[in-house]
Structure 1
Amino acid sequence: MKVLAPVIASLASVSLCAANAVHLPRDASPETWAVDAIARALPNSPSGGYSPAVVQCPANRPTIRNADSLSPNETAWLPIRRNVTVDPMISWLTRMNITDFDAASYINGIRNNATALPNIAIAASGGGWRALMNGAGFLAAADNRTSNSTNRGQIGGLLQASTYVAGLSGGGWLVGSIYTNNFSSVEDLRDGSKDSNVWKFGNSILEGPNGDGIQLLSTADYWSTLHDEVGSKADAGYNTSITDYWGRALSFQLVNATDGGPAYTFSSIAQQDMFTSGSIPMPFLVSDGRAPYTEIVSLNSTLFEFNPWELGSWDPTTYAFAPLQYVGSNFSAGVVPSDGDCVEGFDQAGFVMGTSSTLFNQVLVVLNSSSVPSIVSNVLETILSDIGFDNNDIAQYQPNPFYHFNNATNRNANSTELTLVDGGEDGQNIPLYPLIQPNRNVDVIFAIDSSADINNWPNGTSLVATYERSLNNTVENGTAFPSIPDQNTFVNLGLNNHPTFFGCNASNMTGPSPLIVYVPNSPYVYPSNVSTYQLTYNDTERNLIIRNGYEVATQANGTIDAQWPTCMACAVLSRSFTKTGTTVPTVCQQCFDRYCWNGTVDSTDPANYLPSFKVGEIKSAASSVRVGTMVSVAAVMVAMLFM
């Protein structure tokens, strides 16, 4: 009997909005989820499969650019998106009900002033499936397509008013899954249909999809499929690592296509009509640069962002961007030489999502050393012998697109390979990096923290790491970040147990910084502090963790604080008020007094952190049979797969 097998059929689906009741959500429409009918990121790899392929170079051969500005593509897209956000922003701010403030009149008065118009971003942290589900709860609450999300006490529409959405590791799976499935809503991804394996976590990623999905695969066939697909990339002459297998396996759970869509690329998002028209925010995934056999910390790391157009870094240690569509091409000194090949398809969507979460590569290595059935271990031994153990926790990007570019300052200029790892390995587990770049002029970031810092709850470590990095003039590149207290203060003052605003006083900062709305994972209706290495969740537990994330985002639909939606709106408008010299409404000042960190510090060692439920726990048999949350990876592998 597998751990966490479905045991309560009557709780197969849980409403996102209800604070106390448990009832079925709106009916899902199976027709919407027909595999051939749903639009997604495009299966545009020229090989027709997982392997990249050589293509004819365009007339203007691809080039690497310096990171001294936004890309021409983003620069052209940005005013289109900002214009599209105006009406949803007016609707959202009006519903948030700022007393004695005419939101429609204010926004209409600045709608053509890009500097004054609020520029909103959302960042979903890493933390495995916990982060995917908790982050999904926030995005569901922020999405006006979610059932009842525009009712009183709700915050639906914030997503439609946002310019950027970033994810890292588990949060990157969330963002990547939404975008590779045509910006599907969390409700649709959660509910799916009987013919879809998307977000079906009852079978672990190591076991493969259920037989009632869009294809029939035994566990051995599943691993053989992964081996053959990644083998096609190796056969084409490209280095492979466990990240290739990890990303391919992730795709079976995240991309609604046969075999997880091996031909789908991340850069194809830029070709979707709803993206080019500015109808949806711009997505980012974040990774760290790291050479094999080395360790990284926030003060010496080089951070890389993936967006639909580019891969690159704003850090002085690289300070360059490559066209993502052509990553894998033979770049040298910033150009593809006349005798060099142009390549497409290297940015396979699962590989990019896997790159941002390479910490989990160790799962595959540990499994191979465990007592598993020989039919599976034989396949794994073949995989591991093919790629070797030396670089098992990195993603290999070879040829290095930044080879011999910015030779004086580029750490990777003399390396033929760019090696990337989990974006949270440097401690910055919330993907704030692309959102605090001065060129993007973001005003407010909703930072969803699903980290496992203390008893699998967050304690502000990620914000501390980003703050400390912003003080290091060798890597900060002109970025500013609000002052952040130490982790003990977070716990002692309860800053990790409820939303907190950082950077409220824009005039008391060293440079322009967004206001940070910190939204830490905390228990409202379910113990959502599941282990990062818990690999299986039945539908009931999945739904309850998403539900808990929804309650966190809305403060239990406003029952914890009826003014919370208003306070979120005040946070969105804060920088705009400063830029326009507008008097802050009285209710907003009350919100800032309540939610802004006031500079108080208490660095004494805190007591053991065991937060209580804010609303009341919804019991699930899944939580009662979980054997602790801090389990070893090896135990998870064996218990989840074969017990």
Structure 2
Amino acid sequence: MERDWIPKRRNETISPIRTLLKRLAIPGFDSEAYLKDAETDPTALPNIGIAISGGGYRAMLCGAGALAAWDIRSDGSDKDGNLGGLLQSATYLSGLSGGGWLVGSLMMNNFTSVQESVNYPGIWQLENSILEGPENYSLLQYYNTIFDAVSEKKDAGYERSLTDYWGRMLSYQLINATDGGPAYTWSSIADDPDFSEGKAPMPIIIADGRAPNETIISLNATNFEFTPWELGSYDPVLQGFVPLKYVGSEFDNGKLPKDKSCIAGFDNAGFVMGTSSSLFNQIVLYLNEDDNNYVPDGVPDIAVEAVTSVLKAIGSDNNDIADWTPNPFKGWNDENNLSAESERLTLVDGGEDLQNIPYYPHIRKDREVDVVFSFDSSADTDYGWPNGASPIATYERSLTNISEGSSFPSVPGKNTFLNLGLNTRPTFFGCNATNMTDPSPLIVYIPNYPYVYSSNISTFQMSINTSELSAIIENGYAVATMLNGTRDKDWPVCVGCAMLSRSFDRTNTTVPDKCQECFTNYCWNGTLDEREPSEYNPTFIGEQIEVESSASKASSAFIAIAAIAGFMLAI
């Protein structure tokens, strides 16, 4: 369980934190002396989280660039201006929707690196649309295998949803296993020897609760998290967790009745990743449309028939849900749990409540996270760039009763984000902990920006050629490092200061002068400018990468109209 695992992980982060801080070399500060007793007294040791936003392949690949920049295994990440080792220093790693694909792919492939994922021919083959499948599968083989796997779930007595098909499709692209690893489960991560010894950060995938036939998701929607051990929510309207390994069993009031079987294997890894990105079920729906240009020729009738059958069973209004029936929280916390009497548990895309950055796991007070490095690839503006909508949504939610036990620092409105340029470079929120009523992590907000490539591709672009894939990842790397420190030579040092900010508070350590300078430059100081902003269309900072055109594929496969659910420009 998490409580037993945390000390192991914290101990494993000591060496990479020491190495990274020594390399960053904050002037006038002896990091080795500061952390010399970390093994026996972890008071000074920073507790670090990383959050990767949603936004389809854009979010997956931009986030991949950031993780590559923070991964000591990436070539050159230990050179001047680079930040390799931050990933190894993190305790928690969260993702939702496209960011969840990234986190899930790395973790389901034994915490592989981004560099290995790009170089290995078995995964991240995005040249073909997800409706076409990998090169080494015929179209008929691809669809027959997917629909046979979902039929087995139905034959076992469980409800199907479009997310089952979507999750299987995702698995072919993200998991290095035959047929996308239909037997791979999210809970199996906990059994991995390296992970169980704390040698990788804890992956957390976020989804939202939504009742069938409900179409609007508000900030009061229940936030669920999938960890390697549990599924559940801290929100007071549920306040409960169940062992993820045994979801699919018929729990009652948190217990399994003696006359009920103990079921395992329901938490298929693709289904978990698909649940967090269930808005993309729209792609599966294309199979049900006659003469749809997005669908390749030769899709077998079994695929169309299966989708039609599911739609008849669940209704078109429920096409974006993931059905986790039987409800594992039936009978639980019946005074507050809105679904305590329900046989079904239906979850949806983790960004549908506009919290498109998965801050939720990191801002729990009992997790005591010091700093969250958050990478935002949201498409909030007309040109597909972030404008701060995600941290704004989390801040607004933090002010309500549903966020009991969580805390998030103040952030300004969207107009201020744009007018002050807070969406053009990294910004720190919550710098002055003494001014906060409740302790919260320092939020390092890192927005997607065109350093070397226009990485603002459509959320629903479904195929990406190799050269564009590499360019988007390279741009994400540049965003995370501020172009290897060339935009601001102090950025790497300032990352070190952000890592230690809450630690300095805990240990009553005088903040080094250079860190004071960093906080002056990067912390939002409370200034507001809510005038109507001008059009936001950023320009390149570095030399633009030229890539092979993928327009021919994009036109036929696969840039969908971003009007689904009425808010798709936001994620």
TM range (shorter): over 0.9
Local SS of the residue matching 2:89: coil
Are the counterparts in 2 of residues 142 and 159 from structure 1 also a CA contact under 8 Å? yes
1:458 aligns to 2:386 (yes or no): yes
Matched with 1:44 is none
Are the counterparts in 2 of residues 370 and 634 from structure 1 also a CA contact under 8 Å? no
Q: 1:522 aligns with which of 449, 463, 467?
A: 449
Matched with 1:335 is 255
How does 1:140-289 map onto structure 2 within 5 Å?
A: 140-193=68-121, 196=122, 198-211=123-136, 217-289=137-209
Matched with 2:408 is 481
Matched with 2:58 is 130
TM-superposed CA distance for 1:263, in Å, is 0.4
Matched with 2:567 is none
What do residues 503-558 of structure 1 show as CA deviations (whole Å, max 9, x unaligned)? Answer: 00001112010000001000000000000000000110000000000000110011
- Provide the rounded CA distance (Å) in 2 between the counterparts of 1:489 and 1:112: 44
TM-superposed CA distance for 1:342, in Å, is 0.6
- One-letter identity of the residue aligned with 1:127: G
Q: 1:116 to 1:558 in 2, by over 3 A?
A: same
TM-superposed CA distance for 1:334, in Å, is 1.3
- One-letter identity of the residue aligned with 1:529: N
How does 1:508-519 map onto structure 2 within 5 Å?
A: 508-519=435-446
Are the counterparts in 1 of residues 168 and 271 from structure 2 also a CA contact under 8 Å? yes
TM-superposed CA distance for 1:97, in Å, is 1.4
TM-superposed CA distance for 1:590, in Å, is 0.4
1:589 aligns to 2:519 (yes or no): no
Local SS of the residue matching 2:44: coil
Are the counterparts in 2 of residues 134 and 548 from structure 1 also a CA contact under 8 Å? yes
Q: 1:267 to 1:100 in 2, by over 3 A?
A: same
- One-letter identity of the residue aligned with 1:76: D
- Provide the rounded CA distance (Å) in 1 between the counterparts of 2:445 and 2:558: 25
1:117 aligns to 2:45 (yes or no): yes
1:103 aligns to 2:31 (yes or no): yes
TM-superposed CA distance for 1:114, in Å, is 3.5
- One-letter identity of the residue aligned with 2:188: S
- Provide the rounded CA distance (Å) in 1 between the counterparts of 2:194 and 2:473: 26
- Provide the rounded CA distance (Å) in 2 between the counterparts of 1:631 and 1:433: 30
- Provide the rounded CA distance (Å) in 1 between the counterparts of 2:441 and 2:228: 23
> Mean Cα displacement is larger for which, 288-297 or 482-491?
288-297
1:469 aligns to 2:397 (yes or no): yes
Matched with 1:52 is none
TM-superposed CA distance for 1:627, in Å, is 6.0
What do residues 237-272 of structure 1 show as CA deviations (whole Å, max 9, x unaligned)? Answer: 000100000000000000001100000000000000
TM-superposed CA distance for 1:79, in Å, is 0.8
What do residues 293-349 of structure 1 show as CA deviations (whole Å, max 9, x unaligned)? Answer: 213444311000000000000001110000000000110121110101110000000
1:382 aligns to 2:305 (yes or no): yes
Q: 1:138 to 1:379 in 2, by over 3 A?
A: same
Name the % identity: 55
- Provide the rounded CA distance (Å) in 2 between the counterparts of 1:598 and 1:635: 36
TM-superposed CA distance for 1:225, in Å, is 1.4
- One-letter identity of the residue aligned with 2:229: W
Q: 1:459 to 1:629 in 2, by over 3 A?
A: farther
Q: 1:363 to 1:507 in 2, by over 3 A?
A: same
Give the structure-2-normalised TM-score. 0.95
Are the counterparts in 2 of residues 523 and 548 from structure 1 also a CA contact under 8 Å? yes
Local SS of the residue matching 2:151: helix
TM-superposed CA distance for 1:92, in Å, is 0.4
Are the counterparts in 1 of residues 464 and 550 from structure 2 also a CA contact under 8 Å? no
- Provide the rounded CA distance (Å) in 1 between the counterparts of 2:558 and 2:452: 21
Q: Pick the structure with more helix per residue.
A: 2
TM-superposed CA distance for 1:113, in Å, is 3.1
Q: 1:487 to 1:635 in 2, by over 3 A?
A: closer
- Provide the rounded CA distance (Å) in 2 between the counterparts of 1:606 and 1:371: 42
TM-superposed CA distance for 1:631, in Å, is 4.7
Local SS of the residue matching 1:166: strand
Are the counterparts in 2 of residues 286 and 304 from structure 1 also a CA contact under 8 Å? yes
- One-letter identity of the residue aligned with 1:371: D
- Provide the rounded CA distance (Å) in 2 between the counterparts of 1:629 and 1:496: 30
Matched with 1:61 is none
Local SS of the residue matching 1:559: coil
TM-superposed CA distance for 1:112, in Å, is 3.0
- One-letter identity of the residue aligned with 2:27: T
- Provide the rounded CA distance (Å) in 2 between the counterparts of 1:630 and 1:518: 30
Local SS of the residue matching 2:3: helix
What do residues 277-308 of structure 1 show as CA deviations (whole Å, max 9, x unaligned)? Answer: 11111110000000122134443110000000
Matched with 2:223 is 303
- Provide the rounded CA distance (Å) in 2 between the counterparts of 1:518 and 1:572: 13
Local SS of the residue matching 1:334: coil
- Provide the rounded CA distance (Å) in 2 between the counterparts of 1:634 and 1:105: 53
TM-superposed CA distance for 1:110, in Å, is 4.2
TM-superposed CA distance for 1:621, in Å, is 2.8
- Provide the rounded CA distance (Å) in 1 between the counterparts of 2:431 and 2:95: 24
Q: 1:321 to 1:634 in 2, by over 3 A?
A: closer
How does 1:385-464 map onto structure 2 within 5 Å?
A: 385-388=308-311, 389-390=314-315, 391-454=318-381, 455-464=383-392
Structure 2: stretches of 5+ with no match in the other structure: 565-571
TM-superposed CA distance for 1:623, in Å, is 6.3
- Provide the rounded CA distance (Å) in 1 between the counterparts of 2:299 and 2:561: 18
- Provide the rounded CA distance (Å) in 2 between the counterparts of 1:547 and 1:606: 29
TM-superposed CA distance for 1:124, in Å, is 0.3
Are the counterparts in 1 of residues 462 and 559 from structure 2 also a CA contact under 8 Å? no
Are the counterparts in 1 of residues 43 and 507 from structure 2 also a CA contact under 8 Å? no
Local SS of the residue matching 1:621: coil
- One-letter identity of the residue aligned with 1:457: W
Matched with 2:243 is 323
How does 1:352-363 map onto structure 2 within 5 Å?
A: 352-363=272-283
Are the counterparts in 2 of residues 207 and 219 from structure 1 also a CA contact under 8 Å? yes
- One-letter identity of the residue aligned with 1:490: F
- Provide the rounded CA distance (Å) in 2 between the counterparts of 1:133 and 1:559: 22
1:555 aligns to 2:494 (yes or no): no
Are the counterparts in 2 of residues 427 and 465 from structure 1 also a CA contact under 8 Å? yes
- Provide the rounded CA distance (Å) in 1 between the counterparts of 2:233 and 2:561: 32
Are the counterparts in 2 of residues 366 and 634 from structure 1 also a CA contact under 8 Å? no
RMSD: 1.8
What do residues 565-606 of structure 1 show as CA deviations (whole Å, max 9, x unaligned)? Answer: 000000000000011100000000000000000111111111
Q: 1:302 to 1:403 in 2, by over 3 A?
A: same
Give the structure-1-normalised TM-score. 0.84
- Provide the rounded CA distance (Å) in 1 between the counterparts of 2:250 and 2:43: 39
Matched with 1:33 is none
TM-superposed CA distance for 1:75, in Å, is 1.0
Are the counterparts in 1 of residues 35 and 44 from structure 2 also a CA contact under 8 Å? no
